Structure 1
Amino acid sequence: MSAMTREDIVTAGAQRLIEAHERGVQIEVPEDIPLTAVEDAYAIQARVAERLGTPSGWKLGGIVKGEVPRYSRLFAEFSQESPARLFRQDYHLTFLEPELAVVLGEDLPARERPYALEEIVARVATLHAAIEVVDSRFANWPKVPPLWQLADGLSHGSFVLGGGVAAGDLHQMRDAAYRLTLDGEVAVAGRGGHPGGDPAVLLGQMINARMLESGAGFRAGEVFTTGTFDGVVGMLAGQRAKLTFAGIGEAQLQMH
């Protein structure tokens, strides 16, 4: 049998994940598809995204300090404003991530020269508390190779946009104080300590990386959620979550 071309890898990988979404099942990591390139993982992700819903923004994930964060799409169909109501039966997994998100107030047109962070910040309208719900199409999550996690939209399930404030210069993102409770009991709490460092810097890196790779800009109204401050917290049916970022806002979620 001849070796798979990059097009073969992307086509086959996308089809496996699209089928998992459409059937509502989890699958094993495809050992027969030699996914070894970041570019191919993004290409698979993009093809799957075309079938999932209406793009509404971006999530940052797979964050390693000192590296440009990886990213995937958010979708209007899987996003709600706080207070949100989700149904456990719609997910394979329900793990919560406490995050900060921003909403663009102006377009960021594509250009060859990277944007300085100050230019990006000037176009951000608001800063929000946000909860990402992690889910996976792979049965052995979290023991999934990073490139397959990237192909699978960085294990995205749903997104909840909470209350917010005018963005200002986004300085408050770095050392923001947060608390996530489940049924009133503190699950995680802290101040700053984002694994990637300053979320505003990560935002700028992601915007420039995606613009360079795709040649496309960003539109006013797009949401960017900048990755978890403190790992993931499991949530059960019947529980109520509340995330508070001091001086920024709160997000609430009830799981039915």
Structure 2
Amino acid sequence: MAENFTPESVEAAAERLLAARNGGPRIIDLPPALRPSDWKTAYAVQDALISRLGPVVGWKVGAADPQAEPFRAALTGQTVSLSPASVAHAGHAVLGVEAETVYRFDKALPPREKPYTEDEVLAAVGSVHAAIELVDTHFAAWGAATRLSQIADQFNHAHLIVGSGREAGAIVDAENQPVKLLINGEVVIDRRGGNAAGPAARLIAWLANGGATSLGGLKEGTYVTTGSWTGITFVAPRSHVEVAFEGIGTAVVDIGE
């Protein structure tokens, strides 16, 4: 963590992020003195924010491409729901939808000195599910804050809706898996593959071996979503959203007023 970023700075930054969620003014970015300048600082602020939001029940993890360093955000119970779900548009600056695949862990992977292998990680997965992540910003405008400030603020997470899934076969073909996104019954995306992060096993292993360790690792029952297959599609109030992953399952959310 940057030398000039003290534990008091971490707490102050978390409080500024929390204020916008509690109805306070939205800011373009964190003030320079409270703005993370490296990943370690951004995660420290995120952890402090999460401690104010509630117990961790899930994670989002992604990467720009299959070789890039992954990034993560912890998710709390207030923004994780089972499909079918309803989420109000009011109170959000924007609402974007992404089709994602979620892994539910039937076995905990606590922090340990010896790194978990990808095979060990996959063996801890009990099921894989179709899911929808809703994305938003708590800053004054979408994309206005620096990337590290966005990471500190759960990287634009608004809500995760976990749909139906399968228990056999945790491996999903990142290049050939068919996926559809429908809005109000109209197919807006129909493709094979599309998750820029690549195979999920690498991402989850990174999470188990470092990304999640500051908050106790991956607990039994945890949901881990591994990035968008469809990019972001922004939706208006009164939208019915459905995603379908062939051979895996479906997830549905109704966006209210």
Fold conserved between structures, TM > 0.5: yes
Separation in structure 2 between the aligned mates of residue 43 and residue 238 of structure 1, nearest angstrom: 37
Partner of 1:181: 182
How far apart are residue 217 of structure 1 and its match? 2.9
Aligned to 1:125, the other structure's residue is in SS state strand
| 1:233 maps to 2:214 | no
Separation in structure 2 between the aligned mates of residue 215 and residue 9 of structure 1, nearest angstrom: 19
Would the aligned equivalents of 2:111 and 2:208 in 1 still touch at CA under 8 Å? no
Separation in structure 2 between the aligned mates of residue 99 and residue 137 of structure 1, nearest angstrom: 22
How far apart are residue 186 of structure 1 and its match? 1.7
Would the aligned equivalents of 1:97 and 1:233 in 2 still touch at CA under 8 Å? yes
Partner of 2:64: 63
How far apart are residue 169 of structure 1 and its match? 4.3
Would the aligned equivalents of 1:57 and 1:73 in 2 still touch at CA under 8 Å? yes
- TM-score normalised over the length of structure 1: 0.91
Aligned to 1:11, the other structure's residue is in SS state helix
How far apart are residue 12 of structure 1 and its match? 2.6
Partner of 1:116: 117
Partner of 1:255: 255
How far apart are residue 187 of structure 1 and its match? 2.0
| 1:223 maps to 2:223 | yes
Aligned length: 253
How far apart are residue 144 of structure 1 and its match? 2.5
Query: Match of 2:239, as an amino acid?
Result: Q
How far apart are residue 72 of structure 1 and its match? 0.9
How far apart are residue 244 of structure 1 and its match? 0.2
| 1:29 maps to 2:20 | no
How far apart are residue 234 of structure 1 and its match? 0.8
Would the aligned equivalents of 2:181 and 2:189 in 1 still touch at CA under 8 Å? yes
Higher deviation after alignment, 175-184 or 18-27: 18-27
Alignment of 1:64-143 (within 5 A): 64-143=65-144
How far apart are residue 174 of structure 1 and its match? 5.0
Partner of 1:46: 47
How far apart are residue 28 of structure 1 and its match? 1.5
After superposition, what is the alpha-carbon deviation per residue over 1:45-101, rounded to whole angstroms, capped at 9, x for unaligned?
A: 111111113321111145343123111111211111111111111322210111000
Separation in structure 2 between the aligned mates of residue 176 and residue 217 of structure 1, nearest angstrom: 28
Higher deviation after alignment, 17-26 or 107-116: 17-26
Query: Match of 1:251, as an amino acid?
Result: A
| Residues 220, 193 of structure 1: alpha-carbon distance in 2 compared, 3 angstrom cutoff | same
Would the aligned equivalents of 2:43 and 2:151 in 1 still touch at CA under 8 Å? yes
Separation in structure 1 between the aligned mates of residue 151 and residue 243 of structure 2, nearest angstrom: 26
Aligned to 1:19, the other structure's residue is in SS state helix
Query: Match of 1:27, as an amino acid?
Result: I
- TM-score normalised over the length of structure 2: 0.91
Which runs of no fewer than 5 residues in structure 2 stay unpaired?
Answer: none
Aligned to 1:89, the other structure's residue is in SS state coil
Higher deviation after alignment, 149-158 or 70-79: 70-79
Partner of 1:243: 243
How far apart are residue 220 of structure 1 and its match? 1.1
Separation in structure 2 between the aligned mates of residue 20 and residue 62 of structure 1, nearest angstrom: 27
Query: Match of 2:245, as an amino acid?
Result: F
Aligned to 2:47, the other structure's residue is in SS state helix
How far apart are residue 173 of structure 1 and its match? 5.0
Would the aligned equivalents of 1:106 and 1:221 in 2 still touch at CA under 8 Å? yes
Would the aligned equivalents of 1:17 and 1:48 in 2 still touch at CA under 8 Å? yes
Higher deviation after alignment, 243-252 or 71-80: 71-80
Q: Percent identity?
A: 30
After superposition, what is the alpha-carbon deviation per residue over 1:85-127, rounded to whole angstroms, capped at 9, x for unaligned?
A: 1111132221011100010011113211111111111110000
Supply the RMSD in Å over aligned alpha carbons: 1.9
Would the aligned equivalents of 2:181 and 2:187 in 1 still touch at CA under 8 Å? yes
Aligned to 2:218, the other structure's residue is in SS state coil
Separation in structure 2 between the aligned mates of residue 247 and residue 157 of structure 1, nearest angstrom: 27
Query: Match of 1:95, as an amino acid?
Result: G
